Amino acid sequence: METAVSFARATPDPCVTERIDASSPLLDRHEWREKEYRDAYMVEAVNQGIAWQIKINRESRGLSQKKLASLLGTQQSAISRLEDPDYGAHSLDSLKQVARVFDCALLLKLVPFSVLAADSEHLSPEDLFAAPYTSEVAGDQT
């Protein structure tokens, strides 16, 4: 049985627009001026990023693909697909199940390209590791 919760609703102000400041990583990415390139980059960032996160978080928790598959009630080959940066067919339900097993949150939101550009500068295993809740409240991030 799922617990019903409400997420805070932000009311966006349609009159507010943010300009790129001088320190934005977008200023150095001239190829991003082409919409086709931005779109392709965004798709690859999602596909590769989630695959890398799943693998890094699985390995950091000392889980084999087979053990994670068992915890998710699936086959090892399904985990291999989820960790494949070229897979590109991650379902939201599968990602929520992975987050539950890892005891971390899954955050999915639309952002400006400046946020994507800044985020792309933080792709180390340490940056992609999501500590489980119990580690966060205990103060131990490992």
pTM of the model: 0.79
- pLDDT at 141 (0 to 100): 53
- pLDDT at 7 (0 to 100): 40
* List of domains in the chain: 32-138 (1.10.260.40)
Reduced 3-state DSSP string for the chain: CCCCCCCCCCCCCCCCCCCCCCCCHHHHCHHHHCHHHHHHHHHHHHHHHHHHHHHHHHHHCCCCHHHHHHHHCCCHHHHHHHCCCCCCCCCHHHHHHHHHHHCCCCCCCCCCHHHHHHHCCCCCHHHHCCCCHHHHHHCCCC
- pLDDT at 40 (0 to 100): 93
- pLDDT at 51 (0 to 100): 96
Residue stretches of the chain with pLDDT short of 50: 5-9, 13-17
- pLDDT at 5 (0 to 100): 41
Apex CA 38: angle with CA 8 and CA 130, to 5°? 45
